[in-house]
Amino acid sequence: MMVAETTKPHVSLLPSPGLGHIIPLFELAKRLVIHHDFHVSFLVITTNEASAAQEQLLRSPTLPSGLDIVELPPVDVFAITTDDTLVLTRICVIVEESLKSLKSVLVELGNPKALVIDLFCTQAFEVCGELSIPVYSFCTASTALLTLSLYLPTLDREVDGEFVDLPEPIKVPGCIPIRTEDLLDQIKNRKIDEYKWYLLHVSRLPLAAGILLNSWEDLEPVGLKAVRENSFFKQIPTPRVHPVGPLIKQEETTTAAASNIECLAWLDKQPPGSVLFVALGSGGTLTAEQLTELAWGLELSQQRFILVVLSPTNSSASATFFNVGSDVNDPKAYLPEGFFERIEERGLVVPSWAPQGLVLKHPSTGAFLSHCGWNSTLESVTYGVPMIAWPLYAEQRINATILAEEVGVAIKPAVGEGKTTVGRKEIERVVKLVIEGEEGKLMRTRALKLQESAAKALDICGSSHDSLARVAKEWKA
């Protein structure tokens, strides 16, 4: 383990596996180094199935001096999981195995001033307790999910049976109620391991010295007020909450990947605000039937679009979570016959991956059809782009409802009663609405206001900059 010697204050960051967890913590690490003069050791849980996209991110030649990548001893995933192990359980058992080495790694690093972990690394509390290192929790998702998570141990004690069978929405104290159908998959069935793992980790949140949030004051004011002021959260007690976002991936414009050049060159030829960007996240896939309906809906809408596609699967919406960037596919093999010829002038199909940040910030992009993962949500809002909300798994349904009903920057397609697939006519309707309808213009206006707000929050003297500065001061004391 080679770590540069430095007199700067030294902290460590530890994300659980998956790009959705790694990216925001990696951006936090960069901000601590560049804006707050820290030396940061970024601890990486390694396995024998690391994704190509993760490798590319962590091996960037443009990393700032003072940010060290420290790989924990590798875990043999195949020895501790099976093919049918669900995503969250898989993450948790990998983390548990990996963190057996955490104490020796932290000692070798010279006992950093603090360790920042995400939600699924709470075994670190015990390790760091032995070393007298304060542990801070970083919430990679929304404030809404944080408040629900803090409330879950109480809900678990007070409710018999399944939460999804409750006659009314879940009333998290001080927050907007959550419909039972929007609950994240991991807590819809209390008998499975995923629920037990999730409950275990969230019940440890009060052990944190503080909670850093990838959000900012103007985006989720109701939830932030509740977690700070509501008597329920004070009684838990909830650690002090520090909104430090939006922390989003900074795309490197210098990269010359073919998909970058093709996407951006195509966008350059389109009118301002005219293109719908369709990308359902690094880990999300659709069924063959749903992908066919999506393709027909885009074609029928007569709007311009970029469609990023992964091979369809009928097994799981999160099928590509652990092999991001490794999917090689030929869209002509599964998109409708003649689709490419019919949309030649208006659409661009990109297999596997596109430079999302660069596409969203391009002036020709007018809307984003997204799975509503929190990283993608923050990117869309940060670049002032309204959304069509298409949640697939995890907490994405909660995010989609917040964006559509509270923030007002998204529309959710309707699924017919008794159906699981969104039909092509409904897709046609929402695409037209968001690109050229009056409601779409209103959503864009709101998104542009939030874009300004996000930029101000991160500026020097902005709310998120100052929030992180206060934490940095604690670490430097």
| Catalytic (active site) residue 118 | yes
Cβ contacts of 408-416, under 8 Å, gap ≥ 24: 408/442, 408/443, 408/446, 409/380, 409/381, 409/443, 409/446, 409/447, 409/450, 410/372, 410/386, 410/443, 411/387, 411/439, 411/440, 411/443, 412/388, 413/388, 413/389
Q: Is 452 exposed, middle or buried (0-12, 13-18, 19+ CB in 10 A)?
A: exposed
Q: Which of 145, 103, 146, 144 is nearest to 14 (CA)?
A: 103
CA-CA-CA-CA dihedral for 322, 325, 329, 330, to nearest 10 = 150
Separation of alpha carbons 204 and 200, rounded Å? 7
- Find the catalytic residue in 118, 182, 185, 327: 118
Angstrom CA distances, 131 to 9, 102, 125, stand at 17, 11, 10
Cα 53 to Cα 57: distance, rounded to the nearest angstrom: 6
Contact between 284 and 392 under an 8 Å Cβ cutoff? The reply is: yes
Q: Which of 21, 201, 242, 362 is catalytic?
A: 21
- Report the alpha-carbon distance of residue 472 to residue 468 in Å, rounded: 6
The pair of structure tokens assigned to 343 is 């949309």
The tokens for 277 are 């960007």
Q: Could you confirm whether 362 is annotated as catalytic?
A: no
How far is residue 398's CA from residue 391's CA, in Å, rounded to a whole number? Answer: 9
Catalytic residues: 21, 118
